[in-house]
Homo-oligomer: A and B are copies of this chain.
């Protein structure tokens, strides 16, 4: 596997010249995940998923960013450590600049915390507008495929620390799971009819949305396998992708 963390600069250089010009950046979060899951759940899944995918695809694996934009989780529960949206934009913009300048042409941002999506998308917009031809993909871990998405949304539309996430942790990071809390941690989705985007303090009693009590190791193992398999496909596809058209960002059209 091509872990950026472990590679020397010569190895980074050789990787690019060998034809692997793709890197994957896992972006997680540190935030409360109910009474039964560790605060690092999002980072854990981003990290482990990216690692497996990097193994299967040979993309360079960047270090996981363990802090995300979790300000929507409010100050109600200790444990949440959040970046402001503009801070996260700047972080990923800076990272992208240097990935590009290290010779890479493709950056896969793997995001495991839904509310990171907007700032990450902003970073993507900025990166592709400054580095002509730099290809950036933004992929939510829970949406890498239809089957993965379906599993995540099974017990709640606005899911958080739910069955899917709990099962995943049982499978890949049991040290983050409090088995004795599972039966009492379910909290229903109160947002299904909501027009407004209420912060979590106004939607959940304990930080959970969904039914962690339904979680099983088997379901977690299966789901994680799907995620690895389906994201690997996406990444492999991306590694061979060229832009549909070859006009530069700054080239004026002719009338």
Instruction: Indicate whether A32 reaches chain B with its CB closer than 8 angstroms.
Output: yes
Encoded as 1 (CB less than 8 Å from any B CB) or 0, chain A from 113 to 140 comes to: 0010111011011101100000111100
Question: What is the CA–CA distance of A37 and B198 in the complex, to the nearest angstrom?
Answer: 35
Task: Determine, out of A148-156, A218-226, A247-255, the stretch whose residues face the partner at the interface.
Answer: A247-255
How many copies the complex holds: the figure is 6
Question: Which residues on B sit within 8 Å (CB–CB) of A71?
Answer: 125-126, 129
Q: Contact between A98 and B124 (Cβ–Cβ < 8 Å)? A: no
Closest to A10 in B: B35
Q: Using a CB–CB distance below 8 Å, which chain A residues touch chain B? A: 3-10, 12-14, 16-17, 30, 32-40, 43-44, 62-67, 69, 71-72, 74-87, 89-91, 94-95, 98-99, 101-103, 106, 108, 115, 117-119, 121-122, 124-126, 128-129, 135-138, 175-176, 178, 181, 190-191, 193-199, 201-207, 234-235, 237-238, 241, 243-253, 255
